[in-house]
Structure 1
Amino acid sequence: MAIAKAERLMNLALCLMNTRRPVSKRELRASIEAYHEIGSDEAFNRMFERDKDDLRELGMVIETVESLDGEIGYLARRDRNRLPEIALDAEEAAALSLAAKVWQQARFAEAASGALQKLRAAGVPFHDEGDGDEGVREQSGHSALEPRIPTPEPAFEPLMVATRERRPVAFDYRKANAVRPEPRQVEPWALECWRGHWYLAGWDRDRTAVRVFRLSRITGRVRTRGGAFTTEVPDHVDVRAAVASWAGEGATATARIRLRRDSGYPLRARAVETIPVDADWDELEIPYGHGLDAWLVEFGPDVVVLGPDELRADVVDRLRAVAKG
């Protein structure tokens, strides 16, 4: 379920449960912000009926009441929509605590912190010991690793909102082999963290093709554009698979490079074989696939391509393009 729809359903449920009298569609439309954007009465009526059906499918009991003047009102009585008391064992409490602590930055942090406070108020035990830099916490007597998903890039939050709300964006993007950034117009589909970096997958309007963007290469401000998407968003967007294909993941061929000592650790992590050459250089055999040339260029003078010849030529061409820029 899209986040925007979930928020709309939640607001509708709150309106229906926080009133002592039946509320008409007209009043609900005026009270819920998401309904303000619906232009015609016909479109609103269709959306409202779908939302009402969705809430009932989720188990909410909504009563339909006709007033004396013939107007239909809706009401969700609290006594008929009350959840049973929540009781969590130690393992479940630890799991919820870990999930709430995954997001250390961006707007999720405040919501997650509020959720933990409500659980504590309800009597669910959470114990946080030590300072915020430790990777292990004791929760209800159980030791557990504390996961973190950092979001340091300024572009993360506006792109997250644009992805959620299906809004086109524009930003300046510097490719690995480019000196200067280029303007891009993108319909954002999905964000995902892979090997410590955040990536955005979406439809590049200027290139009329699917593209993946590394957030750390976005310069300046992300600008939201008006209008709807021009392409249909796929049911499943596999950002990692797209990034992996550009990085040569899953390749059957290999390349040989010379890598300066104490550098290029991502390349070393993927090496099939590493042979010391001298005090300054090592020789590595690494998987070779589409996009490897662009990745090797990022390591600059710390990498020398030994083979195959076509990879060496591609890397040299990219370096010359940078030098000319």
Structure 2
Amino acid sequence: MAIAKAERLMNLALCLLGTRRPLTKRELRSSIEAYVETFGSGDAGTGSDDSFNRMFERDKDDLRELGLVIETVEGLDGETGYLARRDSNRLPPITLDAAEAAALGLAAKIWQQARLAGAASGALQKLRAAGVPFQDDDSFEAQQPHSALEPRIPAHEAAFEPLMLACRDRRPVVFDYRKSNAARPEQRQVEPWILECWRGHWYLAGWDRERQAERVFRLSRITGKVRSRQGKFTAEVPDHVTVRETVESWAGETATGTARIRLRTDHGYPLRARALSIRELGDGWDELEIPYGHGLDAWLVEFGPDVVVLDPAELRADVVDRLRAVAKG
């Protein structure tokens, strides 16, 4: 929606909500600046009545589509008037329990690093004023003895916000993406479906137009800007998108065996969290036994020189091949 139209609709809505009696088209035309600038006040007979009537009817329909209840009232003089009663345009009382309020507060924290942080904070303040309990309220603290442990959802990647908006608006996007075993990024044309956070990283699931298949992309591997494209989706969005299952398979969650690696001390905490056993070697390195499945080699490459694969031999060879591919770039 254009800014000029949005301002015109807002002013029309404020006039209709602020009046105590129905306002006629003539009164609205002379009261709203956008109408006066475009059509004049109507008192001098500008010959633009038909154009104004068409715009007014469109504006009125747009406001009704947005949810504003506009009443039409016939006056004693036969002239039609319009108003929007405040009691007909109030939201129902907001009733959230403590758990729902906590989930809403956590969702709002996603915007801490985005340009909508102020809007999210303002929305929470309004809900708090309406009596909804949040984490810093006494009523919530009394029910949550461990509320000092505050979970956070990181959203530091520059690609997060444009991709979230593209998922919401169902708009195709183009971005440069570097796979873990690639020396250079490649351009990808994607119809974005959903964003999901798993183990501190954000992932995008969508339809890759060039490969004609569903793909999952890690946001930290997107380089440069995410560019939006015009047009509609060509692939049907599935009811359920298995982002987490796909990522887990990359990380070896669907393991068929075990692998032994050397890991530098105080490094690779995600690997340590999944380790079946950890043995301190005392030389600045630890030896770990971890689940081994499809995609583990790509995950281990991300830890660079902090990881050395001991066995199996095929996993070690795969990791070396990936590192050589990166080095050649």
TM-score by structure 2 length? 0.69
1:1-325 alignment runs, 5 A limit: 18=16, 20=22, 27=56, 29-30=58-59, 77-80=85-88, 82=90, 100-101=108-109, 103-119=111-127, 121-122=129-130, 124=131, 138-140=136-138, 142-143=140-141, 144=147, 145-325=149-329
Question: Residues of 2 paired with 1:263 and 1:22: CA distance?
Answer: 72
Q: Cα gap change, 1:89/1:276 in structure 2, threshold over 3 Å: closer, same or farther?
A: closer
Answer whether contact 1:103 1:109 (CA < 8 A) is retained.
yes
Fraction of identical pairs, as percent: 70
What's the RMSD between the two structures over aligned residues? 4.1
Question: Residues of 1 paired with 2:132 and 2:167: CA distance?
Answer: 35
Q: Which moved more, 1:217-226 or 1:202-211?
A: 202-211
Query: How many pairs were matched up?
Result: 281
Q: Cα gap change, 1:245/1:63 in structure 2, threshold over 3 Å: closer, same or farther?
A: farther
- Structure 1: unaligned runs, 5 residues or longer: 1-10, 36-47, 68-72, 128-136
**Offset of residue 96 of structure 1:** 5.9
Answer whether contact 1:199 1:212 (CA < 8 A) is retained.
yes
For 2:286, give the aligned amino acid: D
**Offset of residue 320 of structure 1:** 2.1
Q: Cα gap change, 1:157/1:98 in structure 2, threshold over 3 Å: closer, same or farther?
A: closer
**Offset of residue 306 of structure 1:** 2.1
Give SS of 2:237's match: coil
For 2:179, give the aligned amino acid: K
**Offset of residue 156 of structure 1:** 0.9
Question: Residues of 1 paired with 2:74 and 2:249: CA distance?
Answer: 60
For 2:123, give the aligned amino acid: A
Q: Cα gap change, 1:125/1:25 in structure 2, threshold over 3 Å: closer, same or farther?
A: same
Question: Residues of 2 paired with 1:192 and 1:89: CA distance?
Answer: 25
Question: Residues of 2 paired with 1:250 and 1:223: CA distance?
Answer: 34
Question: Residues of 1 paired with 2:102 and 2:268: CA distance?
Answer: 37
For 1:111, give the aligned amino acid: A
Deviations 1:136-188 (A, max 9, x none): x6422643344332211111111111111111111111111222211111111
- Structure 2: unaligned runs, 5 residues or longer: 1-8, 26-52, 76-80, 142-146
TM-score by structure 1 length? 0.70
For 2:120, give the aligned amino acid: A
Q: Cα gap change, 1:99/1:283 in structure 2, threshold over 3 Å: closer, same or farther?
A: closer
Residue 50 of structure 2 is matched in structure 1 by none
Deviations 1:166-213 (A, max 9, x none): 111111111112222111111111111111111111111122222111
**Offset of residue 295 of structure 1:** 0.9
Give SS of 2:113's match: coil
Q: Cα gap change, 1:203/1:306 in structure 2, threshold over 3 Å: closer, same or farther?
A: same
For 1:286, give the aligned amino acid: I
Answer whether contact 1:263 1:302 (CA < 8 A) is retained.
yes
Deviations 1:244-288 (A, max 9, x none): 111111324211212222222211111001123341322211111
Answer whether contact 2:177 2:185 (CA < 8 A) is retained.
yes
